[in-house]
């Protein structure tokens, strides 16, 4: 399996622009997680889905952030409009609901908002 | 509710020395416990996990951890540190049953290995 695939790996955008991050989970996994990692705040869970349904979005910082999972093989995290404080590494992870359920992480998207 | 505490945000050891990274958790239900490693500019990679059964679990790269229910601990050890072990290490907990697969994370411990 190719693992969790995220795109793009790096994104530089200007403040106010819309940013869309993409994630393809591991085939057969039915839980998907979006995380944000910064030096100041560490690893934060933004939102997670079970069977394509958002279960907990309490970590989404504000209405500028939105996430979708239209099918089992694709998810997006959108920031509109972006701000410099959104600069971070964003990780997507997936796991199975059944069994021992360890999460597998993608390589991350490093977002820089200037 | 669950929580994870990693004692020591930075740990420094000499090459060949014992590595001990501490993790304590709280959980109202039997937990599943994990250690992940993150190398610079990479995603997190599973080192080892405890679910049920044997309380001493072995992982990749010579690491192991012991689940101690009485101490609510899951400390990570390696007998002899290698330069390549320098990385960030995260402890995490999740409920051992049900459909809640949300991981609760510690803040991480940065391990430095000195020659």
What confidence tens digit (pLDDT) does each residue in A46-55 have?
999 999 999 9
A48 touches chain B (CB under 8 A): yes
| CA–CA min distance A39, chain B (Å) | 10
* C-alpha to C-alpha distances, A102 to A58, B29, B83, B87, B101, nearest whole angstrom: 21, 18, 27, 20, 9
Q: How many CB atoms lie within 10 A of CB A81?
A: 14
Please state whether beta strands A74-79 and A19-24 pair in parallel, antiparallel, or not at all (unpaired): antiparallel
For residue B51, the chain A residues in CB contact (below 8 A) are 100
Length of chain A: 114
Q: Quick one: pLDDT band at residue B2, thresholds 50, 70, 90? A: confident
Please state whether beta strands A31-38 and A42-50 pair in parallel, antiparallel, or not at all (unpaired): antiparallel
Contact assessment for residue B22 and residue B39, using Cβ atoms and an 8 Å cutoff: no
- Those of residues 66-105 in A touching chain B at CB distance below 8 A are 91, 93, 95, 97, 100-105
Residue ranges, chain A, pLDDT below 50: none
The pair of structure tokens assigned to A53 is 């349904």
Q: Is the pLDDT of residue B33 over 70?
A: yes
For residue B43, the chain A residues in CB contact (below 8 A) are 4, 91, 105-108
Please state whether beta strands A109-113 and A10-13 pair in parallel, antiparallel, or not at all (unpaired): parallel
Residue B42's closest chain A neighbor by CA? A107
Q: How far apart are CA B81 and CA B95, in angstroms?
A: 31
């Amino acid at each position: 399996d190719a693992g969790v695939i995220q795109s793009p790996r790096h994104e530089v955008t200007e403040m106010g622009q819309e940013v869309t991050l993409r994630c393809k989970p591991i085939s057969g996994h039915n839980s998907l997680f979006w995380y944000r990692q910064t030096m100041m705040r560490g690893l934060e869970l933004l939102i997670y889905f079970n069977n394509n349904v958002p279960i907990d979005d309490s970590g989404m910082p504000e209405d500028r952030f939105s996430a979708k999972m239209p099918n089992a093989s694709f998810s997006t995290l959108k920031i509109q409009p972006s701000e410099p404080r959104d600069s971070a590494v964003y990780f997507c992870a997936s796991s199975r609901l059944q069994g021992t359920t360890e999460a597998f992480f993608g390589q991350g998207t490093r977002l820089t908002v200037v | 509710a669950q929580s994870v505490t990693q004692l020591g945000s930075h740990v420094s050891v000499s090459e060949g020395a014992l590595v001990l990274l501490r993790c304590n958790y709280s959980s109202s239900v039997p937990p599943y416990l994990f250690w992940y490693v993150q190398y610079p500019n990479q995603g997190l990679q599973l080192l080892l996990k405890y679910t049920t059964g044997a309380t001493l679990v072995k992982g990749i790269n010579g690491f192991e951890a012991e689940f101690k229910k009485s101490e609510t601990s899951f400390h990570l050890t390696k007998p002899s540190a290698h330069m390549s072990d320098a990385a960030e290490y995260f402890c995490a907990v999740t409920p051992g049953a049900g459909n809640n697969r949300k991981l609760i994370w510690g803040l991480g411990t940065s391990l430095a290995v000195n020659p």
